[in-house]
Amino acid sequence: QSALTQPASVSGSPGQSITISCTGTSSDVGGYNYVSWYQQHPGKAPKLMIYDVSNRPSGVSNRFSGSKSGNTASLTISGLQAEDEADYYCSSYTSSSTLEFGGGTKLTVL
């Protein structure tokens, strides 16, 4: 069982927006602004999409955005595209100076 809770799956149609949640505790998500989001296509290494809750690395589409409220962080993808279909993982720094990942969310573009 993962320390951070994500929905197992979400889906949306091209052009729509979807949001993936990531729920932790005050010892991780709620205690620090160090939540990251990763996209992983089958057989590939993960790719950093969001860091420090809402920052986008250079080269990542502005269709991807992140936010946090209390112990729950969220990743929103707007203008859904076929290539967005992938697994998405959140991660958070913890009070033990370790890192935790969520269980992952499979995004299906209908």
Residues 1-60 that bind another protein (CB under 8 A): 2, 32, 34, 36, 38, 40, 45-48, 51-52, 55, 57
- Report the C-alpha gap between 106 and 20 in whole angstroms: 10
| Backbone φ, ψ for residue 83 (5° rounding) | -70, -5
Does 88 engage in binding with another protein (CB under 8 A)?
Answer: no
Does 91 engage in binding with another protein (CB under 8 A)?
Answer: yes
Shorter beta-carbon distance to another protein: residue 18 or 38: 38
Does 93 engage in binding with another protein (CB under 8 A)?
Answer: yes
Using alpha carbons, list the distances in angstroms from residue 52 to 40, 48, 79: 19, 11, 23
Instruction: Look at residues 9, 18, 11 and name the one whose alpha carbon lies nearest to residue 109.
Output: 11
Shorter beta-carbon distance to another protein: residue 30 or 46: 46
- Report the C-alpha gap between 107 and 110 in whole angstroms: 9
- Using CB under 8 A as the criterion, which residues of the chain lie in contact with another protein when the complex forms? 2, 32, 34, 36, 38, 40, 45-48, 51-52, 55, 57, 87, 89, 91-93, 96-104
